[in-house]
Structure 1
Amino acid sequence: MYHSRMKNSLFAIVASLFALSLMVYPKAAFESSLTGLKMWWEIVFPSLLPFFIISELLICFGVVRFVGVMMEPIMRPLFKVPGSGGFVWAMGISSGFPAGAKLTARLRQEKEISRIEAERLVSFTNCSNPLFILGAVAVGFFDNAELGVLLAAAHYIGNIFVGFLMRFYGSDDVRPKRHYSPGPDKRLSLALDRMYQVRKRDPRPFGQQLGDAVRHSIQTLLMIGGFILLFSVLNRMLTEFHITMFMASIMSTFMALIGFAQALIPPFLSGMFEITLGSKLISETSGSALLEQAVLVSFVLAFNGFSVQAQVASILAETDIRFKPFLLARIMHGFIAAILTILLWEPLYVKQTSQGKVVETFASHPSISWIYDAWHSLLTVGAMITFISLIIFILIHLKSIKHYKIM
């Protein structure tokens, strides 16, 4: 009881101080809020919405169950999660955070996985997508396409390491032994049968399924947008009250020990709260080596930032999945990705650029130029996609309210 009261009092004090800071620095709060809104409006919403809708439909049609049966021989020995985790992993990488957390929560709600399996799964499926790493960070912030290959390799290889390490988390006896492994000749037949069973249990017509998928996806993205705005303002308030500089002074000794430039500390702390802003500030820091910047950006991308972690915590709160294992995995991923950046610096960046193997510009590279085009197209049409989607969401929501009143 005493611990609960102290915790509640602490939250009340922090919330009150935050509200006071908004009144003391209203202009700074407004500007930072607009910055967060612009990022959500132009980038986050249009880039995540299609993946969220498609993933909801794939779950309804039983495709996730189909993939689960087919991927069982790979996912369970490597990561001790069901084969359906392969679908979550693929969608998490392609669409970025917090898609992995959202899909893991959905599988848990559908009783497809146990709580321990869900906690293992969410630990390595919530990662940054290639479009953000290669397009936004490498090209947009650093203006260095070759650096994107290094950052992506460190991020995803580190992600696999985390998944493998988390296979040792928890006890296996919490899940009943209800699955079996059929032979290769029967696996496809079993997968198709499981997919049909899922579709048969859902009586909703396709139109209703599509409407529900759009509505649920936009509701999740609205929640994500709120967190982005909140942490954008919070990060700015910490700077205005010189709390960031105080924290930087504490970290200065550690940064000096590892030989990193002191000027990188404030942008790194910003990245601990919000990865996009932090990555941009790190790339703009003068007087620091590119390797130092790459290492810190790798850590920030893997750690996800408190903004993304708050989004994940909110999503997981709808289930019985605990947040602490996810936080532990983010810390592990941060250090592993940073170490891999150092180890891969010579073979993936220095040697390749010195030998002229990746000196092409990002736009002219035949294999990855689509990422550059996709990123700039997103910046161009992202706001329009968001606006149209919100109009559709309002219409669907009004229709559902009207239908409920009639019922």
Structure 2
Amino acid sequence: MQIWGRGRRYRSRLLAYFMAFSAVFITVSMVTYPKDAFDSAIQGLNLWWNVVFPSLLPFFILSEILMGLGVVHFIGVLLEPLMRPIFNVPGIGAFAMSMGLASGYPMDAVITCKFRKNQMCTAVEAERLLSFTNTADPLFMFGAVAVGMFGMPELGAAIALAHYLSSFLVGVIFRFHGRSRDSYNKEVIPKGNILARAFRALYRARQEDKRSPGQLLGDSVKSSMNTILLIGGFIILFSVFLRILSVLGITDITAIISSAALGLIGFSPNLSSAVVSGFFEIDIGALAASQANAPLLQKVAITSAIIAWSGLSVHGQVASIVIESGIRMGPYMVARLLHAILAMGITILLLGPAYNVTKLLSIPVTLNLAQTNSLSFWLVRMEQVGYQICVLLAILLTLSIAFHIARGLYSYISR
């Protein structure tokens, strides 16, 4: 016991030294290379202002309002019969999953954190939920990656399908995570009409909130602005960090290591720079993979892994959001690694033996990605995301009610 405690203090001390050294190192590097730091900061700011800010802020505000009005509690009761058996999370998890699937990173983290702070789920349920709802949005995969980077719209279906299938598999695997800390009683099955229970949950949540509509709207905007500013800070920080690493030649050293690792699995070493860039930032990594001199199958597989991993930049955003709610980042990081491995394997399968099936799922991209800063683009973007959220929730609600009816019939017959 004494040795274990000593080892823990030793690791804590090493971590403190490492963090202090890293902060000093980055600061000195920024002073040494001020132009590179400034240019990369401007690049990160443009990305946040033109893409992240307009695409995520409306949905951040919307999710806050829906929780305050009790709508999320309503959905949670209706979807409990589906989410609990499959993913071992409360029914409200379907709301986070739908918003995450349609809106992309880090929407799921924001919603999951709100669930935990409002005691709508336990810490271990939040960790399970975060493990499989951290997904990229369809527009990014179909439009930005398949069309914008590869110039091949038909790849969008394979990338998206591999991404979502592997995400669901991670959720099923992580349903067993932290079972010793579970406080949910599986023997207690709620009785009564599920729709009536859903309306009661909505009314009870609204009564407990007690905020007027005006106050709720103001609090939602204020909280969402704080979150979006936090995300912007991380995007700019990691943009500068990546440029400094590149200028100092550190990325070249890590590229040698990744090249050796790629050789072990039979992949082209030319993809090493994409792996290194994707380890830190998703957009830069995906673009590097699409431009690498390597077989197409390998480039798409590595791109799928990068999108599933999502990069340390997104991880930093997630950490800054969930750290206050007591959600651990360790399980989340393991889930991202597992997601990346599964996505790469499924992509190889979809572009190989199952390629004919994948071609049937290809869909046209209707948005003009060259004008992402125009008002018309973002109006269409919000319309599509809203439509996707409604469709996903409708499908999940239908499945959940079917599960509930089937379980009721089974209980009646088995008496």
Fold match by TM threshold 0.5? yes
Q: What residue identity is the alignment partner of 1:135?
A: G
> Offset at 1:267?
2.2
Among candidates 95, 108, 113, match of residue 87 of structure 1 = 95
Partner of 2:56: 48
Contact 1:42 1:382 (8 Å CA) reproduced: no
Structural mapping, 1:161-180, within 5 Å: 161-171=169-179, 174-177=182-185, 180=188
CA distance in 2, matches of 1:214, 1:179: 41
Partner of 2:315: 309
Unaligned runs of 5+ in 1: 359-364, 386-407
Partner of 1:255: 262
Contact 1:68 1:82 (8 Å CA) reproduced: yes
Contact 2:158 2:358 (8 Å CA) reproduced: no
Structure 1 residues 303-362: Cα deviation after superposition (integer angstroms, max 9, x where no partner): 110010011111111111111000110000000000000011135646766xxx68xxxx
Contact 2:105 2:314 (8 Å CA) reproduced: yes
Distance 1:218 1:348, change over 3 A: farther
> Offset at 1:236?
1.1
Distance 1:347 1:217, change over 3 A: farther
1:23 counterpart = 2:31: yes
Partner of 1:186: 193
Partner of 1:245: 252
Contact 2:84 2:90 (8 Å CA) reproduced: yes
1:341 counterpart = 2:335: no
Contact 2:371 2:377 (8 Å CA) reproduced: no
Structure 1 residues 368-391: Cα deviation after superposition (integer angstroms, max 9, x where no partner): 444x24x55543239999xxxxxx
Per mean C-alpha deviation after superposition, the further-off stretch among 149-158 and 200-209 is 200-209
Partner of 2:409: none
Structural mapping, 1:95-110, within 5 Å: 95-110=103-118
1:78 counterpart = 2:79: no
CA distance in 1, matches of 2:137, 2:188: 33
Among candidates 116, 135, 139, match of residue 143 of structure 2 = 135
Structure 1 residues 239-262: Cα deviation after superposition (integer angstroms, max 9, x where no partner): 111111111112222222323222
Partner of 1:403: none
1:296 counterpart = 2:290: no
Among candidates 213, 230, 236, match of residue 237 of structure 2 = 230
Contact 2:258 2:275 (8 Å CA) reproduced: no
CA distance in 1, matches of 2:88, 2:186: 15
Partner of 2:374: 380
Q: What residue identity is the alignment partner of 2:149?
A: F
Per mean C-alpha deviation after superposition, the further-off stretch among 75-84 and 265-274 is 265-274
Distance 1:173 1:246, change over 3 A: closer
Partner of 1:400: none
Q: Match of 2:89, SS?
A: coil
Distance 1:59 1:377, change over 3 A: farther
Q: What residue identity is the alignment partner of 1:13?
A: F
> Offset at 1:172?
5.2
> Offset at 1:133?
1.1
Unaligned runs of 5+ in 2: 1-8, 380-415
TM-score by length of 2: 0.84
Q: What residue identity is the alignment partner of 1:281?
A: A
Partner of 1:320: 326
Distance 1:368 1:208, change over 3 A: farther
Give the length in aligned residue pairs: 371
Contact 1:149 1:348 (8 Å CA) reproduced: no
Q: What residue identity is the alignment partner of 1:257?
A: L
CA distance in 1, matches of 2:62, 2:45: 25
> Offset at 1:176?
4.8
Structure 1 residues 89-145: Cα deviation after superposition (integer angstroms, max 9, x where no partner): 111111111111111111111111111111111111111111111111111111211
Distance 1:188 1:122, change over 3 A: same
1:10 counterpart = 2:10: no
Q: What residue identity is the alignment partner of 1:30?
A: F
Q: What residue identity is the alignment partner of 1:78?
A: I
Q: Match of 1:76, SS?
A: helix
> Offset at 1:30?
1.4
Partner of 1:125: 133
Structure 1 residues 278-310: Cα deviation after superposition (integer angstroms, max 9, x where no partner): 11122122x211111111111111111001001
Contact 1:271 1:278 (8 Å CA) reproduced: yes
Q: What residue identity is the alignment partner of 2:209?
A: D
CA distance in 1, matches of 2:56, 2:158: 24
Contact 1:68 1:84 (8 Å CA) reproduced: yes
Distance 1:293 1:314, change over 3 A: same
1:149 counterpart = 2:149: no
TM-score by length of 1: 0.86
Contact 2:132 2:171 (8 Å CA) reproduced: yes
Distance 1:179 1:205, change over 3 A: farther
Partner of 1:329: 335
Contact 1:162 1:332 (8 Å CA) reproduced: yes
Distance 1:77 1:88, change over 3 A: same
Contact 2:372 2:378 (8 Å CA) reproduced: no
What percentage of aligned pairs have identical amino acids?
42
Per mean C-alpha deviation after superposition, the further-off stretch among 259-268 and 35-44 is 259-268
